[in-house]
A and B are shown apart, each in its own frame.
Chain A
Amino acid sequence: MVQVGAATPPLRRGRAAPSLLRFAGWMLQVDPARGALVLALRIVQGASPAATVWLSARVFAEGQAVWAGRAAAAAMLGWLGAWGAVGLLEVALWPLFELASNAVIHDMEDAATARLQAKAGVLRLEAYERPDFHDILRRAREACDPGMMLNLVWNTTDLPQNAVTLLAVGGLVGHWSPTLLPAVVVAALPQPISEIVQARARHFRGRKQTADERLRGYYGTLLSNPGAAKEVRTFDLQAWCLARWRGLFWKVADEIHRQERAQTLARAGLNTVTLLGYAAGLAVAARGLAAGDLPAARFAALLLALRSVQGAAEGIAMSLLGWGGELLLKVGDLFAYLDLGPEEPAGGARPDPSGDIVLEGVGFTYPGKATPALQGVSCVLRSGERVALVGENGSGKTTLVKLLCGLYRPTEGRVLYGGRDMAELHPQALRDLQAAVFQDHVRYAFTLGENIGLGRAEQVADRETVRRAAELGGADAVAASLPQGYATPLTREFEGGTDLSGGQWQRIAVSRGFMRQAPLVVLDEPTASLDPRAEAEVFRSFAQLAGGGGQAAGPNRDATAGGDAGSGPVTAVLVSHRLGSARLCDRVLVLEGGRLVEQGRHDELVAAGGPYARLWAVQSQWYR
């Protein structure tokens, strides 16, 4: 039981520690021109406090002279002009900064989301079955949020701005009163430094609460999602869901609040230390003033300067450790997701389109599960063969289908395609050879035509191909019943759309599968919701697919077969609980509890009186 973990591909965690530098580098890479502009603007902005302080000191000094009658008022106008110019620069740069940073933030949001999507598409599918994967994905998504990006961009660019301020204003202060500076700066540090400890505590508290938050969100979904609306109303679940929602909400909220209160006390205490440092600095300056070492104008300017120095020092510590640390923990989630593995191979051998598919002792265990879904399955699907896969619910048919499509890798044994291990084949090339209809097909909120056409995205706009696929899968009747035909948007969640019945959706899914003329066709329960006529049609389309020729296209009649599938033989696999369809197949594979227990032609198996015969007897009794 324990070796399961070893058998399933481990979710490789990212190692790279994210850093401000990695982030800044990324920003410059995503949007080089604007990213650089934002950085430059902030550096210029960083210099302006020093200019203001210095000019203020001049103005105060001149003011004293004017007051004492030593100078004319007009003599100050030059200094005022300079002071005003600095102010004007600030006023003018701000909108520029706002525009540029806005654009950068959205570019980064898009870049991050695009990377997240791309990653989602190349990760091996098993990852999606892992319980922890979805939390990692969700956290990565949170890190792509525009608000997050805003904070990050600000935080990252705060650093150079504050550094410039600290150097410039600090230089000025040091020049005026060398002993003051270190004490004032040091007093500003404890709070931001303690912030990193607090931030980590918050971050990990948040992680601990993920499960509760997820469940609370789910109760919210139950109440507001149209899909759950019927059951919620019929079973009167409103009050019940709300009660659970409320319980989880306050459980989490109280924990958060308790932590916040404790942290606030610490923060307020350390903040007082900062202010005491400021006051102490001023006291030292006042002593200098009293002793006659420091001119009064400079003392007045220090009132401004010391706060500005403290602010800059605090800001730097915050960027590096405090909020910055917290933000980086969050971006770290994104980078950790982007570093996840294993991925599908980027290359590999080209498969032989007319090769047999060989299963050698194939077993599969879902990640985190103790019992295997498939075990020791060995068989050969010959090229051009029609194979039915039957078995009870949960016997592993769908799992086997996913293995045949190369979506999962067997955790035991191997699947060979044309003599090569599927794992070595080029994933894209492999997929070009497959067409599939899955049991839990997707209902795309696109138009009817697109829903079918997406079976072969390059031909989504090719009406003729779409129409032909629709005919094969029975969706043509659906299109005919809608006023806008193939252009009807199939969802009521967006304006102007309509919804369909379960069977109509299934016809569309089957048609989507028929968009491709591929050497391997897999249909997993394609007729579960179809009416008898549509079901018969699909079975006939299926029978025509495989190029074996000479087979009956209906259970009891001889009809034409083969030929329609373009070039080459077609291997077709049909999973169905409608056992009548198994008669169309060259061979029936019977699964039971994840093992292949029987195989042969329908007639042979019925005659053999095994599990298949029993299933057949149960179902055919209704129709005798």
Chain B
Amino acid sequence: MASSSTASTTPAAAERASAALAASAPGPRRRGPGLLSHLRFALRAAFRDAPGPMAALIALQIGAALGPPASIAVTQRLVTVAVDTAGHGASGFDAVLPWLAALLATLILSQGPVWQFREPLLQRLRQRLTSDLEERRLALAARMPLWEIEGSEAQDRLDRSGDPGGKVQRLVEDGLLLSATGVSALGVSLLYRVVSPWVVLVFVGSFVPLALHEAAEGRKWDTFTYEQTEPQRRTAYVDRLLTGRAEQKELRVFGLLGHLAARWREGRRALRAERRGLKRAMIVRGLPFAALPWATGLAVAVLLVYRLHAHALGIGAFVALFGGLGSLSGTRGMFGYHLGEMSEHGAEVAHVRTFLEGEPAKRPADPDRSVAGTRPFPRPMREGLRCEGVVFRYPGAERPVLQGIDLRLRPGERLAVVGENGCGKSTLVKVLLGLYRPDAGRVTVDGVDLAELAAGELHAAVSAAYQDYWRFELTAGESIGVGDTRAMGDPDAVRAAAAAGGAAAFVEALPQGFATPVGHVLEGAADLSGGQWQRLALSRAMMRDAEVLILDEPAAALDPKAEAGVYAAFAAASNGVGDGAPERRRAVLMISHRLGSARMADRVAVLRDGRIAEEGTHDELLAAGGMYAGMWEEQAQWYR
């Protein structure tokens, strides 16, 4: 907070600030914590969110791990008995039966039926993790400062951390499977000690290079996918354009389908060529690691024959251990596979962690976000909102848009802000509403810096209809009601807001009135006309009993009558705030290119080159013959 209030308010200061930002721009990616750390994170989350399913999964996994060694051991007995009793008739059969039953039991416990229960358990685990982590992810996204969420970096990070529950679940699953495979490989290896202790050592030792190799490959793959996020998003964007509803009209009239489809193909080809090249290299590099188990298997098979010959092995053991070679090489294959999956999924979890635990991005002008403000919003507001030398520059832009704005909005005052396209009016609105923090200068309400207000205080006291308002595709009533979620359940409040925003008439004419779904999200929803959407946005702004109301181009899409309605509301809006306290008067700021509206204002401010260039009443400004007078003349001629 101190930094923003003491900073100099000159554009030069803003330039310095921008240089500092450029210096702190994200460099090449730093390597974060390793796979084990991610695994720990995943396991901790899993045990926290789903202890029951986790315990059951571990039990299943132990059964599965013991399966292969157990079945080899049983096979050994079974074959020994079978060979011994071959041709002994019924008594031989009776001797074999118990071992058959034992084999069946190991199969039931280690794969097949019991194994089936893994799926619902994993599913529950994934659901609980999703519910927890996705909710945290969304909440974090919703708390990001506006400048940040508008930027490509945040979009990339959001993209990479998508489906966090699935990502963490997959890593946990890899961990479980990997340890089970490890245990079962160890168990099977140990059975070979009767051949030679060295065999055990060779088997176990051959896992080490495999593990190192897979880990290294995983890192390469991770770097690759990380770098592909942005190009991937670009092609995905073109793909979405091609099937987008809102885009179809233009795409067809301008005949853009072929052009964009070619662009998409080009992007895909580039992405794919890279991906395919890397995959091929990985497979080639993996060849020795696939051949190694095969070679050791063959060597041990030869050894088995000689041990059999030397009667160091029984025939049962020979058959079981020979058969076990297949299972062992399978196990080793699975081990490598799970390891590869694990490092891939570990990298995915890394993205989730960076998003959930990472340092929030910083702008030099940002106050320390960990120190929350504590002051309440002064109600009633006495002196009003005030900009003092406000400078604001969009991240990455060369020049600040606002270069030292001094402006005052008093309670009960109606202020019109006008200016050319792109002069910074909407930006000013976002700064006034605390969505952007000024790079220099400050915005205060009754002398209190907005940054010092407690969380939620500011937003509870202001309301706005933005120029590029969002279309809430819910029911018409909800689309208005979200302006104040506490009151949205009250039909009268919604109806009153709709009346104030000019939406009541058309909404009531909809088939189900305020319960009619609008847009395309809800079942049975239908679209509205441009002006109807704007009326909903205006009504939304009217939901709140706000001290400050800001309307940014509220009449852009409105017909003349609705436009007149908005101006009338503007004229009347500052007269009182609903709760009966007579001294409370609302401050209203309206931005409009329809200068007729400025006549209704107590004061008009003209924005130009990042500063307030002219200020006064409509008549004063006309008399002054400056920029405002020129704009007025330009527009008024159409109506004389």
Is A534 located at the chain interface by the 8 A CB criterion? yes
A238–B482 alpha-carbon span in the complex (Å): 11
A454–B246 alpha-carbon span in the complex (Å): 16
A59: chain B residues at CB < 8 Å are 322
Interface set, chain A 406-461, CB cutoff 8 A to B: 407, 427-428, 431-432, 434-436, 438-442, 444-445, 454-457, 460
**With A264-B117, A431-B253, A432-B255 known to touch, is A501 a contact of B422 (CB < 8 Å)?**
yes
Is A19 located at the chain interface by the 8 A CB criterion? no
Is A232 located at the chain interface by the 8 A CB criterion? yes
Nearest A-chain residue to B421, judged by Cβ = A503
Which of B79, B230, B247, B287 is in CB contact (< 8 Å) with A495? B230
Is B286 located at the chain interface by the 8 A CB criterion? yes
A498–B249 alpha-carbon span in the complex (Å): 25
A232: chain B residues at CB < 8 Å are 142
A125: chain B residues at CB < 8 Å are 248-249, 252
Is B216 located at the chain interface by the 8 A CB criterion? no
Is A597 located at the chain interface by the 8 A CB criterion? no
A555–B130 alpha-carbon span in the complex (Å): 62
Chain A nearest Cβ from B196, distance in angstroms: 16
Nearest A-chain residue to B275, judged by Cβ = A106
A440–B116 alpha-carbon span in the complex (Å): 52
Is B201 located at the chain interface by the 8 A CB criterion? no
A428–B255 alpha-carbon span in the complex (Å): 8
Is A227 located at the chain interface by the 8 A CB criterion? yes
B492: chain A residues at CB < 8 Å are none
Is B359 located at the chain interface by the 8 A CB criterion? no
**With A261-B120, A531-B631 known to touch, is A623 a contact of B636 (CB < 8 Å)?**
yes
A218–B517 alpha-carbon span in the complex (Å): 14
Interface set, chain A 195-238, CB cutoff 8 A to B: 211, 214-215, 218, 220, 222-224, 226-238
Chain A nearest Cβ from B288, distance in angstroms: 11
Interface set, chain B 548-574, CB cutoff 8 A to A: 553, 556-564, 567
Chain A nearest Cβ from B128, distance in angstroms: 9
Pick out which of these stretches binds chain A: B176-184, B381-389, B446-454, B465-473.
B465-473
Interface set, chain A 491-513, CB cutoff 8 A to B: 492-504, 506-507, 512
B456: chain A residues at CB < 8 Å are 236
Is B357 located at the chain interface by the 8 A CB criterion? no
A87–B326 alpha-carbon span in the complex (Å): 9
Which of B287, B311, B470, B635 is in CB contact (< 8 Å) with A230? B470
Pick out which of these stretches binds chain B: A25-33, A315-323, A575-583.
A575-583
In contact, B291 and A215 (Cβ under 8 angstroms): no
Interface string of B283-301 (1 = CB under 8 A from A): 1101100110010011001
In contact, B482 and A237 (Cβ under 8 angstroms): yes
- Count chain A CB atoms within 10 A of each CB in B158, B395, B523 and give the residue with the most: B523
In contact, B506 and A110 (Cβ under 8 angstroms): no
Pick out which of these stretches binds chain B: A5-13, A91-99, A178-186, A563-571.
A91-99
Which of B101, B142, B291, B638 is in CB contact (< 8 Å) with A581? B638
Which of B283, B560, B635 is in CB contact (< 8 Å) with A615? B560
Is A562 located at the chain interface by the 8 A CB criterion? no
Chain A nearest Cβ from B175, distance in angstroms: 21
Nearest B-chain residue to A250, judged by Cβ = B131
Is A56 located at the chain interface by the 8 A CB criterion? yes
Is B521 located at the chain interface by the 8 A CB criterion? yes
In contact, A555 and B563 (Cβ under 8 angstroms): no
A228–B79 alpha-carbon span in the complex (Å): 70
In contact, A555 and B638 (Cβ under 8 angstroms): yes
Is B361 located at the chain interface by the 8 A CB criterion? no
Chain A nearest Cβ from B50, distance in angstroms: 12
Which of A76, A236, A393 is in CB contact (< 8 Å) with B506? A393
Is A405 located at the chain interface by the 8 A CB criterion? yes
B116: chain A residues at CB < 8 Å are 264, 267-268, 271
Is B198 located at the chain interface by the 8 A CB criterion? no
Is B36 located at the chain interface by the 8 A CB criterion? no
Chain A nearest Cβ from B611, distance in angstroms: 16
- Count chain B CB atoms within 10 A of each CB in A290, A402, A456, A534 and give the residue with the most: A290
Which of A226, A402, A457, A516 is in CB contact (< 8 Å) with B155? A226
In contact, A121 and B322 (Cβ under 8 angstroms): no
Is B426 located at the chain interface by the 8 A CB criterion? yes
- By size class, the interface of chain A is 35 or more
Interface string of A582-624 (1 = CB under 8 A from B): 0100000000000000000000000000000001101111111
Chain B nearest Cβ from A131, distance in angstroms: 6
In contact, B86 and A63 (Cβ under 8 angstroms): no
Is B135 located at the chain interface by the 8 A CB criterion? yes
Which of A226, A440, A499, A580 is in CB contact (< 8 Å) with B394? A499
Is A514 located at the chain interface by the 8 A CB criterion? no
Is A370 located at the chain interface by the 8 A CB criterion? yes
- Count chain B CB atoms within 10 A of each CB in A267, A287, A299, A493 and give the residue with the most: A493
In contact, A622 and B594 (Cβ under 8 angstroms): yes
**With A87-B298, A530-B421, A536-B635 known to touch, is A296 a contact of B524 (CB < 8 Å)?**
no
B467: chain A residues at CB < 8 Å are 501-502, 529
Is A278 located at the chain interface by the 8 A CB criterion? yes
Is B97 located at the chain interface by the 8 A CB criterion? yes
Interface set, chain A 459-506, CB cutoff 8 A to B: 460, 474, 477-478, 481, 483, 492-504, 506
Interface set, chain B 68-116, CB cutoff 8 A to A: 75, 78-79, 82-83, 85-93, 96-97, 100-101, 103-104, 107-108, 112-114, 116
Which of B120, B243, B253, B540 is in CB contact (< 8 Å) with A436? B253
**With A291-B89, A619-B639 known to touch, is A282 a contact of B103 (CB < 8 Å)?**
yes
**With A392-B562, A615-B561 known to touch, is A275 a contact of B107 (CB < 8 Å)?**
yes
Chain A nearest Cβ from B19, distance in angstroms: 16
Chain A nearest Cβ from B104, distance in angstroms: 4
Chain A nearest Cβ from B191, distance in angstroms: 16
**With A121-B252, A235-B459, A407-B253 known to touch, is A257 a contact of B100 (CB < 8 Å)?**
no
Chain B nearest Cβ from A306, distance in angstroms: 11
In contact, A121 and B257 (Cβ under 8 angstroms): yes
Given contacts A113-B239, A235-B463, could you give 16 more A-B pairs where the C-beta distance is less than 8 Å? Answer: A66-B305, A87-B297, A95-B286, A110-B265, A110-B268, A117-B264, A128-B248, A224-B149, A229-B146, A239-B485, A290-B89, A456-B254, A533-B634, A535-B593, A577-B560, A618-B564
- Please name the 10 residue pairs, one residue from A and one from B, whose CB atoms are nearest each other, closest first: A622-B596, A580-B638, A393-B531, A503-B421, A292-B87, A290-B92, A457-B259, A623-B639, A73-B309, A619-B560
Q: Can you list 27 A-B contacts with CB-CB less than 8 angstroms, sorted by A residue number?
A: A56-B323, A64-B315, A66-B305, A84-B301, A98-B283, A134-B520, A220-B138, A230-B435, A236-B456, A264-B117, A276-B104, A279-B104, A289-B93, A292-B86, A370-B511, A394-B506, A435-B253, A444-B241, A457-B256, A478-B422, A495-B152, A496-B152, A525-B530, A531-B420, A534-B420, A577-B560, A623-B636
